[in-house]
Amino acid sequence: MHEYLVRGGESCMAGFVLKNTLSDNGGVTRGICKMDNQNKSTSFHESTDTSMDKPLPKRSVWVRYRLYLWAITAFCAFIVFVIYNLSGVKKLRIDANKLGIAKVEQAKFLDYVDAEGIVQPILTIKLNVLEAGMVQQLVAEEGAMLRKGDTILVMNNPELTRIIEEQEDEWQKQRILYQERRLEMDQKTILLKQQTLQAEFELNRLVKDFQLGEEEFRMGVKSKAQLEVQREEYTFKARSTALLMDGLRQDSSATCLRRELMDNDLDRARKNRLHAGNRLDNLVVRAPMDGQLSFLNVTLGQRVGQAENIGEIKVMDNYKLNTLLSEYYIDRIMVGLPASVTYQGVKYPLKVSKVVPEVKDRQFKVDMVFTGAKPENVRIGKSYRVQVELGLPETAIVIPRGDFYQSTGGHWIYKLNASGSKAIRTPITVGRQNPVQYEILSGLSAGDKVVVNGYTRLGDVEELIINE
């Protein structure tokens, strides 16, 4: 650099690595430049004087590694925090007005279930068409009160009419043929009876003649040879007459059998004719019982198939209440349990008449019927609050219902300390329940205070710090 300046260089800059200029790397040399009146360097003199050097203090380990130490410290603090939360008691501070707090009591537990019951007819009959046809006339309208046998609608079926007419013609032919054959058989029967009488007469005459011949032989009027001839004639006639009568009896039996078969054929034809007539009558749809035609799903000119459902009739002489109960009660609800409806301050008794054990959407169906008086102006579709009695009232440790059961499954609850400043998670055993109470079998005592509502915002903590 000095040579450059001496030889005419106007300016230059010298740089050093910073760490190489520090005192702990040895002394620092300096260069002195001389300048003329035009601020140009004329000479450069290197100085080795180190008297002006100020030694720098040596950096400590903390200065050089403080970032690493801070990172290690933060990681250790995080590990301690995680271990504390995993092994220690989880706490949550919350205001008292955000919690539902209730007192544990020893009181009467009312073992019942409350539900909404819908009034329905005791019996609903489906209207199914017995014979296919086309709707020709609508006689009754939806909502009409009907008596048994009242006409609802009339249908027409030309094909069925043709078939029935053919069957009627066939029946008439069969009936005439039967009469002719019956007449022939009756005549034959008369003839057989005549032949039987004639044969019996001839046999009796031969018996008398032979007896007379024997008497004449004893008197000496007839010879032995004459008697033998008469005996042979009598024997032949007796045998032939017996054969004839046997044949007559067989013919008579056969005639009776043929007559019976003909009677059966005629009876079968008569039943077929009657059935055909009934098919024609089925084209007229009538009310099977007294009741209300709740709906009729046909129109004029509509083709209706055999066995097709076209409506229903509700029997209105009695009613039932249909309700849905929680599957929780499925093992305790049975036919015959007492129930009641309270309407306008009056209690009306019921009993469970039917239980459908199939669970859908965590509910099952139950039917109840009135066992005495019914509320005035009972209408189909009207709802009542129904109470089904599951047992007699008993003294028990009880708490009010709350959302804790949905959150904890009834396995634990937050119990307050004596001062009410804390609530600690406490295991419990829940027994029976009704619409307003839970029965507590273990874990709590009368006089305790517990948190029954507000669990949706609490999470899974062991202890609540309650702010007043």
What sign has the CA pseudo-torsion 242, 248, 250, 256?
negative
Q: Are 140 and 293 in contact (CB under 8 A)?
A: yes
Q: Which residue has the higher pLDDT, 317 or 45?
A: 317
**Mean pLDDT, residues 415-429 taken together:** 92
**Mean pLDDT, residues 230-246 taken together:** 78
**What interhelical angle do 224-281 and 158-219 show, nearest 10?**
170
**What pLDDT, on a 0 to 100 scale, did the predictor assign at position 152?**
93
Per-residue pLDDT band for 107 (boundaries 50, 70, 90) equals very high
Q: Are 403 and 98 in contact (CB under 8 A)?
A: no
**What pLDDT, on a 0 to 100 scale, did the predictor assign at position 16?**
52
Per-residue pLDDT band for 7 (boundaries 50, 70, 90) equals low
**What pLDDT, on a 0 to 100 scale, did the predictor assign at position 201?**
82
**What pLDDT, on a 0 to 100 scale, did the predictor assign at position 424?**
92
DSSP E strand boundaries for 363-420: 363-370, 383-389, 394-400, 412-416
**What pLDDT, on a 0 to 100 scale, did the predictor assign at position 390?**
86
Among the listed residues 426, 425, 423, 416, the one whose alpha carbon sits nearest the alpha carbon of residue 464: 423
Whole-angstrom Cα distance, residue 117 to residue 339?
Answer: 11
**What pLDDT, on a 0 to 100 scale, did the predictor assign at position 264?**
79
Query: Which segment of 180-189, 296-305, 389-398 scores lowest on mean pLDDT?
Result: 180-189
Among the listed residues 99, 41, 5, 7, the one whose alpha carbon sits nearest the alpha carbon of residue 403: 99
Q: Which residue has the higher pLDDT, 448 or 95?
A: 448
**Mean pLDDT, residues 248-264 taken together:** 76
Among the listed residues 396, 407, 378, the one whose alpha carbon sits nearest the alpha carbon of residue 438: 396
Among the listed residues 303, 211, 295, 193, the one whose alpha carbon sits nearest the alpha carbon of residue 251: 193
Residue-wise pLDDT tens digits, 161-177:
888 888 778 778 878 88
**What pLDDT, on a 0 to 100 scale, did the predictor assign at position 54?**
54
Highest-confidence range of 47-51, 187-191, 361-365, by mean pLDDT?
Answer: 361-365
Query: Which segment of 60-74, 307-321, 384-398, 429-443 scores lowest on mean pLDDT?
Result: 60-74
| Residue 299 main-chain phi, psi, to 5 deg | -135, 160
Per-residue pLDDT band for 28 (boundaries 50, 70, 90) equals low
Predicted TM-score (pTM) of the model is 0.46
